[in-house]
Amino acid sequence: MMSSGQADREAQTRPNILLVMADQLTAIALSVYGNRVCKTPNIDALAKRSAVFANAYCSYPLCAPSRFALMTGRLPSRIKAYDNASEFPAAVPTIAHYLRGAGYYTCISGKMHFVGPDQHHGYEDRLTTEIYPADFSWVPPETYEEQESGDSQPDEVPLGVSSVETIADAGPLARSQQIDYDDEVAQRAIQHIYDWKRYSDGRPLFMTVSFTQPHDPYVTTRKYWDLHPNETIDEPITPRIPLEEMDTHSHALYFHYGLNKFDVDDETYRRARRGYYGMISYIDEKLGQLLQTLEDAGCADNTVVIFTSDHGDMIGERGLWFKKNLFEPSLRVPMIIHDPRHARPSRIEAPVSLIDLLPTLVELSGQSMDALVTEIEGGSLVGLMSEDQPDRTIFAEHIDGATVAPRVMVRRGRYKFVYSEAYPAQLYDLQDDPGEQVNLSDSPEHSEIARIMLQLVERQWDLTALKADVVKSQKSRQFINAAMQQGREVVWEHYPNPVRDHTKFVRNGDRFPEVERRSYLPYSDY
C-alpha cells in the first residue's frame, strides 16, 4: 500500500487532467477556427496559450458512437457502436480505466451517453445522471434491409432523432431541460474540484466535465440570446443546395429529419443560428468558471486542460441541420490542449481525431504505450505539439441515419474521401474547396489520389461484412428492447448518491470550529 506521502510526491510528478466536452459543437462556430460572430472569450483565451488542432474530427457524427470511440481509442465499428442505442461493452478498456490503473482519481460530471448496465466505464464517481436513455429504446426502427425494401415507413421522426421542430423553436427561454442539466453539471464539477483538493487521498485528478449544449433545440436564455443580434448572424459558408441537386444521402437525410415539413426560411435560419451561438457562449462561460476554479484551488499550474466536442452540427450549411453526415460542419470539432508545464502555443494542421485522445492522455499521464492492452486506431498527439504532420491520415464512419449502408471517410493531408457501397464516391480538395462543392472522384487528374484513398478504405474496413453485422445487431436489440417493455422495468440509468459526507458538515459530537477549519482552502497567493 502506498503511503500518503508517497502518493503526494507521485501526484506532483503527474499532471491533473480536466477534459471539458461540449455536445454538437462544430469547429466552424468558433473564432479560433475563423468564425467572426460567436462570442467565446474564455475559449479564445485558452487557445492563446494552448495547442490548437486546426483539423480535428470526430470518428462518427453521432453522440454515443463518437463518445465510445473517444473513450476507447477505437473506431466505433470495432466495438460495434453502430448507433445511439449500441451497448458500450464493459470489457473494453477506456481512458478512465487506464488513468485509474495508473493511480489517478477518476470522476465525471455530465453526459457521456453510456448505453448498457455499466454506467461508469472506469470512472470512480459519477456526479450526475445521464440526460438520455441508457437502454435500447433508441435502436433505429428500420434496418438497412427495411429502408431498401420500403417495408417500414414510420409516420413520425424516430425516437432520439432531432427534427425540424427544434429549429422552429429557436428563441430565448427562461429555462430548458438542457439549461437545467448543464447548470447542475457545472455546479457539481466545480464543487467536486474544491472537495478533491481539500479531502483527496493524494492521487492526481482526471475529471471529465461534459455538457449537453449546444445540442439542438436552438434555445438559450435572454442573456446569451442578446449577445448575437439577428443582423450580426453570418451567412452559411456553403449556401443552401436545392433538394433536387443534393447528393443521394443528403437528400435522404433531409427527409429523415423532417426538413420537408417546415420551410426553414432566412429568418428561421438566423434565429436557429443565433440560439446555437447563444448556447456556445453559455458553454464558454462555464469553461471560464471551471478554469477559475482550478486557479482558486491552486492546481491550475499542474492541470492539463482539453476542450473538445463529440461531433459538429450543420447549422444550415448546404441547407442541412444537425449531424449524421460526413461533411465538414458535422465532422469537425474543436480540439484545444493546454499543458501548463510545457506551454507551447501553436496551431497544428495535421488531421487528428477524437480517438487520438486515449493514447494522448496515457502518454500525458506518464505511461508507456506498452500499457495498452487492446489494439487502438488512434495515435498520441503529444509529438504533434512539437512537430506537425500535415499529411497525417485519419478515419471516420457513419453507419446510422438515412443511410442504407455504412459510409466511411478518409482524410489524408488536404484531401478527403467519402465512400460507401450504396452511394457514389466523393473526393474533395479541402485546401482549394473548403466548402466541399466540387466532387473530384471522377476527375482524371485526381484518379491516382482516388485510387490511394480507396485502398486505405479497403484496408480499414470490410464494408459488406460490416453492413451484415449492423443489421444483425439492430434486429437483436430491437427484439430485446421490445421484450424489456414487458413486466417489471429494469433501469440501467445511474443516479448519484445524495451527499452524506459527514467530514464536511457539523454533526452530533463535532466541535464547530474544528470542522469549519478542516474545510478551509486558502488561496495559494494570499
Residues involved in catalysis: 63, 113
Write out the DSSP string of 323-347: SSS-SHHHHB--EEEE-GGG---EE
**Closest to 52 (Cα-Cα) out of 434, 334, 327:** 334
* CB-count burial class (<10 Å; 0-12, 13-18, 19+) for 112: buried
Torsion over CA: 352, 138, 172, 179 (sign): negative
DSSP at 124: S
| Contact call for residues 79 and 72 (beta carbons, < 8 A) | yes
Phi and psi angles of residue 352, each rounded to the nearest 5 degrees, phi first = -135, 170
DSSP at 235: P
Which residue has 474545510 as its cell numbers? 519
| β-bridge pairing 407-412 and 393-398 | antiparallel
Distance of CA 236 to the CA centre of its chain: 23
Q: Cell numbers for 191, please give them.
A: 464543487
Q: What is the largest CA-CA distance in the chain?
A: 84
**Closest to 40 (Cα-Cα) out of 48, 32, 52, 49:** 32
Write out the DSSP string of 13-29: HS-EEEEEEESS--GGG
| Contact call for residues 189 and 127 (beta carbons, < 8 A) | yes
| Contact call for residues 442 and 86 (beta carbons, < 8 A) | no
DSSP at 230: G
CA–CA gap between residue 265 and residue 258 (Å, rounded): 15
| β-bridge pairing 171-172 and 219-220 | parallel
What residue type is 494 in one-letter code?
H
**Closest to 26 (Cα-Cα) out of 328, 410, 237, 239:** 328
| Contact call for residues 156 and 256 (beta carbons, < 8 A) | no
DSSP at 158: P
Torsion over CA: 334, 372, 393, 304 (sign): positive
| β-bridge pairing 303-309 and 105-110 | unpaired
Exposure on the CB side of residue 98, measured as CA atoms within 13 A: 26
Using CA atoms, how far residue 402 sits from 146, 223, 399, 525, in Å, is 11, 36, 9, 56
| Contact call for residues 374 and 110 (beta carbons, < 8 A) | no
CA–CA gap between residue 246 and residue 260 (Å, rounded): 14
